[in-house]
Structure 1
Amino acid sequence: MTQKEMDYERIKQSIEYISENYIKQPELNEIAEHVHLSPYHFQRLFIRWAGVSPKKFLQYLTIENSKQKLEESSNLAEVAYDVGLSGTSRLHDLFINIEGMTPYQYKQKGAGITIYYDFFISPFGKFLLAVTNNNKVCSIQFADDEIFAEEELKNQWFNSTIIRSREKTALIADKIFNLKSTDPIQVLAKGTPFQIKVWESLLKIPFGQLTSYQSVAELINKPKALQAVGSAIGNNPVAYLIPCHRVIRKAGNISQYHWGETRKKAIIGWEASYLEVV
């Protein structure tokens, strides 16, 4: 296990511990003891990872903070329009362009496409990155289990030729969690027209902001299709780049994430922390 993986594992354990013991508001010493570090070293680890103290970080994960974020983005269409005009939507987000497969490609289920993949380390643990032979990202999965992640990739693209290659994937992997990168990234999304419409709408949620499933449904002019919208978000094949982690329940609860609730909390807090320190 690399140092980055060990750091995230301790961050994950601390977030889980705080969530489970939220009512009694555990002190720094108690949380540090739970992850087997001294308070000094735990504080240093957390600031190195998030840029802010554990106490500050936790404020971003409260229901009260989530509700405030939801209120700010209650009309996601207006937020997206305003952010687009000001240009701040790309201040921290990478420029992502989703390209849906043609009906023929979708019917062929990836036949004739060569896909290269490998595993890399992010601030949120190991992830699998897969790209096509023309450098379009077609899958990102957080991978606690490499074998399971490989099987998921094969199930998504079972008619494609799949090859493990560091050389073909490393340059793109370096850009994904680099908040200073301005290079555009192309995404090839394998989904229905409805799913792609939902995924495209997620790109309109500004960095560090949150919105509700209802707001996403309204943005795509399907206000009554909450279940279908939730299903499309849950089937997002490109973690982080298509920011499904920014969608939470209307009540402010941070839950429902394909790669784990704790990881979703970590990403939300990490983005909010970055805005705090820049």
Structure 2
Amino acid sequence: MSVSPPPFSSKSIAVSVFDPDASDTRVIHTGVVETPIGKAFVGVLDSRICFLGFTEGFTLATLKAELCRNWPGFKLVRGFEETPDFEDGAELIVRGTPLQVAVWRELTKVPPGETVTYQKIAESVGSPSAVRAVGTAVGANPVSWLIPCHRVIRKSGALGGYRWGLVCKERLLESEGVDLSTLPSD
């Protein structure tokens, strides 16, 4: 499946928190899809994306192990009931601490082509002194690209790090129209 950069705004990303009392499903369907910057391993639970990790530099076994750590007790089944479609946005389902979920939801408000600092995210979620905790939450994002943690930069304006590698972060930002030459180097 070839997917071009998402034409939707981040507002069409819906982030739900998993409620074990509201779902009997304990099966996650998995597969590899194409994104604007390469292949990604995706997990889908109850028709909602619960994991997206880029495959470049990572084995599928490593990505599956990470998915299993995020969703203990769930069975992974190869193949999708319905192939994820990113053209009209995406429905996501996550598990995390209240701060993590607040950070992930806040990230979906950052429009494509724009960047935001860790400090700004901390302020937006009501925890202005929790910049490090916010950074940890950004790094723990289980749904890369769709929860756009690649749009978070340092207060200095430098790119900083990225769970999937700096080259991946640069490609994502460039695909959204960010002029990297205007940002200071680390």
Does residue 1:150 correspond to 2:55, yes or no?
A: no
Aligned residue pair count: 172
Equivalent of 1:140 in 52, 62, 68: 52
Unaligned ranges ≥5, structure 1: 5-48, 51-89, 274-278
Confirm whether residue 99 of structure 1 aligns to residue 16 of structure 2.
yes
Within the alignment, does 1:163 sit opposite 2:68 as a pair? no
CA distance in 1, matches of 2:102, 2:122: 10
Equivalent position amino acid for 2:106 in 1: S
Cα 1:91–1:122 shift into 2, 3 Å: closer
Q: Give the corresponding residue for 1:240.
A: 145
**Residue 200 in structure 1 maps to residue 105 in structure 2:** yes
SS in 2 for 1:196: helix
Residue identity (%): 30
Give 1:158 shift. Answer: 2.2
Bigger helix fraction: 1
Q: Which has the higher strand share?
A: 2
Partner SS for 2:160: coil
1:222-274 superposed Cα distances (whole Å, 9 cap, x missing partner): 1000011000000000011100000000111112111001100110011016x
Which of these two proteins has the greater Rg computed from alpha carbons?
1
**SS of 2:174 mapped into structure 1:** helix
Decide whether aligned partners of structure 1 residues 92 and 112 sit closer, same or farther in structure 2, where only a CA change above 3 A counts. Answer: closer
Q: Give CA-to-partner distance per residue, 1:60-83, whole Å, 9 cap, x none.
A: xxxxxxxxxxxxxxxxxxxxxxxx
Unaligned runs of 5+ in 2: 179-186
Residue 126 (structure 1) aligned with residue 31 (structure 2): no
**Is 2:10–2:110's contact at 8 Å kept on the other side of the alignment?**
no
Superposition RMSD in Å: 2.4
Mapping for residues 13-32 of structure 1, pairs under 5 Å: none
Q: Write out aligned runs for 1:223-238 (5 A).
A: 223-238=128-143
Give the distance between the partners of 1:223 and 1:206, measured in 2 at CA.
Answer: 21
Contact residue 118 and residue 169 of structure 1 kept, 8 A: no
Q: Secondary structure at the match of 2:157?
A: coil
The question of whether the paired residues in 1 share the 8 Å contact of 2:11 and 2:108 is answered with: no
Q: Supply the AA of the counterpart residue of 1:159.
A: G
- The amino acid of 1:204's aligned partner reads K
